[in-house]
Amino acid sequence: MLCLTNAGIDRDATQFMTMDDTLVYDLAGYRSRTSKRVGNVQLFAEQYDLPNHPFDRNAKPGDVMLFFNNTLHKGAPPKRECRDVFVYLLLPNLCPWDRQLERDGIGCRGVQFGRLSTHTLASASCLSRV
């Protein structure tokens, strides 16, 4: 997440749990017992006697927060002012990217994709015509 505005505690910053705590919640059945997000993880923690130590970062504009999306985390709507972030979501795919583009009907006809280079990236501009 790239912060465009302050994302500190005064703006209900995103709270995270450690991966170790996330795994403890998973073993207790958090993801299998719930079919949707739980607004108050504290209740689940109390019910199963689990650690509950969420933390946040007092992020400033321009700060980047990288985290594994499967760790427990939540953001709340800010109580005052806005909190703007730009989110990049990277997903693994076993299919090579050029083949995936073809599967999705976005492939560039006649363009040879090889090793990434300035020329290759410039040639990829045909994607914008789709």
DSSP structure string for the chain:
-EESS-BSGGGTPPEE--HHHHHHHHHTTHHHH-SS--S-HHHHHHHHT-----EE--B-TT-B----TTS-EE----SSS---EE-------SS-HHHHHHHTT---TTPPP-S--HHHHHHGGGGGG-
pLDDT (tens digit per residue) in 97-120 = 778 878 888 766 555 555 443 334
In whole numbers, what is the pLDDT of the chain averaged over residues? 75
Full-model pTM: 0.60
**pLDDT tens-digit series, residues 61-102:** 999 888 888 888 887 777 777 888 888 877 788 888 778 878
Write down the pLDDT at residue 19.
93
